[in-house]
Amino acid sequence: MALSDADIVTIAEITREFYTTIADLVIDLTAAQEASLEAEIITWNEGTSPLRDAHVRLLGGKDGIDLDNERKREAIRMRVRKMLGLSLVSDEWLALDPNTMQLIQFEVGQNFG
């Protein structure tokens, strides 16, 4: 039960990695791992308004509602990246702002010393 090309494209979208990177990583997955990835893909794409395209954030009153689809996408992204042995932060994300890593190092480092 190998993942289809469409599945690999979706996994690349989820992880923010290149198709070729994902294609290489999924070659030796077990059937259970493939089934888990397929479940994540279904969650990512399901419904009339798929999570991948849902950009609603709703905060409510005192006991209120906190609906943030970005949190759901990030949860899927982290689970899939971990399963594939990828770091939790994609190189693509870091490439968006070259100062991001410096900022992370500064903020962590400033509390020590």
Q: What is the pLDDT of residues 54-64, one digit of tens each?
A: 666 667 767 67
**Quick check: is 100 in a domain?**
no
Helix 31-45 and helix 69-83, axial crossing angle in degrees, nearest 10: 160
Radius of gyration over alpha carbons of the chain, in Å?
17
| In a domain? residue 11 | yes
Q: Looking at the 3D structure of the chain, how many domains does it have?
A: 1
Q: How many CB atoms lie within 10 A of CB 13?
A: 16
What is the maximal distance between C-alpha atoms in the chain? 53
Q: Flag whether pLDDT at 107 surpasses 50.
A: no
pLDDT for 70 equals 81
Q: Is residue 58, in this structure, part of any structural domain at all?
A: yes
Q: Does residue 93 lie in a domain region?
A: no
Range of the domain at 43: 5-87
Q: Give the range among 3-7, 35-39, 62-66 with minimum mean pLDDT.
A: 62-66
Answer whether 54's CB lies under 8 Å from 69's CB.
yes
